[in-house]
Amino acid sequence: MTATIISGKEVATAIRAELKAEVAELKEKHGIQPGLATVLVGEDPASVSYVTAKGRGCEEIGLASFQHTLPADISQEDLLKLVDKLNNDPKVDGILVQLPLPKHIDDNKILYAINPDKDVDGFHPVNVGRLVIGESIFPPCTPAGIQELIVRAGTPTKGAELVVVGRSNIVGKPIAVMMLQKAPNANSTVTVCHTGSRDMTLHTLRADILVVAAGVPKAVTADMVKPGATVIDVGVNRIGTTASGKAKLAGDVDFEAVKEKASAITPVPGGVGPMTITMLMKNTVMAAKAAGGLIKI
């Protein structure tokens, strides 16, 4: 069996088209213009490119975008003042502070200062709590993208054995919490593996859905995968340089071998990656709807 390749690019394009239509309707019917503020501190090239892509994403679907670029030596106090200003700006529905921040700034102090109702990244403890009790409207963006890929690939989630490899706060834990909710597109039996797991293969071999977020190339090989499983590879590992000088990327799954065993699999690049910014846009639209009284948080 050769697996269906789940294209994150195609799914992201479809969701962006849906969001574009929704934003147009919000403007026309309700006079709501959703807006996202991004805050970039310093000139780290990866962060600059992420923030630029977020700005482009906003433009594509009709969101207002407010980009704040600050010098690397800005004080924590001044950054907190900007967050406070954005918290109180009615044109701003979502606030995204690009991480990592310079060493003299405490990331958590800044993230926890964001109004939870504008925390479209979903990292504020209030939103982490909402996620756990199944009341989140801002699921963290990468796990939200993973869930969309599973569902749009047509994989049934209710009652499925779902195994997550990795327990980070940004991927492993939130996707595990999301998929065990008694809710549509979830309701799975969830197991989480990590470096303390005694026999990871024992668990992965039972997985109808296997989500791998370890940050280690080939952490999952074909002998660890159940025939017919849906495999979501979250990993992004630089494994060299292409002939044109670009970084050569690989996921955490031995793609070539596992695709012969799985029924569906995401590639790297082009799988989970394209989904993350799209889910940020979706969360911003949700924030605008909540601010406009159309939905309840």
Smallest gap, in angstroms, from Cβ of residue 88 to ligand NAP?
A: 30
Smallest gap, in angstroms, from Cβ of residue 217 to ligand NAP?
A: 9
Told to check if 204 binds ligand NAP by CB under 6 A, we report no
Q: Look up residue 95 and give its two tokens.
A: 């606030």
Told to check if 234 binds ligand NAP by CB under 6 A, we report yes
Q: Look up residue 27 and give its two tokens.
A: 């403007």
237-241 vs 247-250, strand pairing mode: antiparallel
Q: Look up residue 262 and give its two tokens.
A: 């799985």
Binding pattern for the stretch 94-133 against ligand NAP, x by CB under 6 A and - elsewhere: ----------------------------------------
Residue 154, number of CB atoms within 10 A of its CB: 11
Rounded Cα distance, 180 and 134, in Å: 10
Q: Look up residue 8 and give its two tokens.
A: 């994150």
Told to check if 195 binds ligand NAP by CB under 6 A, we report yes
Q: In terms of CB distance, is 64 or 99 closer to ligand NAP? A: 99
CA distances from residue 141 to 138, 146, 185, 240, 266 in whole angstroms, order as listed: 8, 9, 16, 27, 17
According to DSSP, residue 224 is labeled G
Q: Pick out residues in 242-281 that bind ligand NAP (CB under 6 A).
A: 272-273, 276
Smallest gap, in angstroms, from Cβ of residue 179 to ligand NAP?
A: 15
Q: In terms of CB distance, is 283 or 291 closer to ligand NAP? A: 283
Whether residue 80 contacts residue 109, with contact meaning beta carbons closer than 8 Å, is answered with: yes
Rounded Cα distance, 253 and 211, in Å: 10
Rounded to a whole number of angstroms, the CA Rg of the chain reads 19
Taking CB under 6 A as the criterion, the residue among 168, 187, 189, 201 binding ligand NAP is: 168
Told to check if 170 binds ligand NAP by CB under 6 A, we report yes
Q: In terms of CB distance, is 104 or 194 closer to ligand NAP? A: 194
Taking CB under 6 A as the criterion, the residue among 34, 116, 172, 267 binding ligand NAP is: 172
Q: Look up residue 42 and give its two tokens.
A: 């310093």
Binding pattern for the stretch 132-151 against ligand NAP, x by CB under 6 A and - elsewhere: ----------x---------
Q: Look up residue 34 and give its two tokens.
A: 């959703």
Q: In terms of CB distance, is 105 or 219 closer to ligand NAP? A: 219
DSSP string, 45-105: HHHHHHHHHHHHHHHHHT-EEEEEEE-TT--HHHHHHHHHHHHT-TT--EEEEPSPPPTTS
Told to check if 220 binds ligand NAP by CB under 6 A, we report no
Smallest gap, in angstroms, from Cβ of residue 8 to ligand NAP?
A: 8
Q: Look up residue 62 and give its two tokens.
A: 């009709």
Told to check if 188 binds ligand NAP by CB under 6 A, we report no
Q: In terms of CB distance, is 117 or 254 closer to ligand NAP? A: 254
Told to check if 157 binds ligand NAP by CB under 6 A, we report no
Rounded Cα distance, 224 and 208, in Å: 12
Q: Among the candidate windows 27-35, 179-187, 210-218, 255-263, which touches ligand NAP by CB under 6 A? A: 210-218
Q: Enumerate binding residues for ligand NAP (CB under 6 A).
A: 142, 165-168, 170-172, 193-196, 200, 213-216, 219, 234-237, 272-273, 276
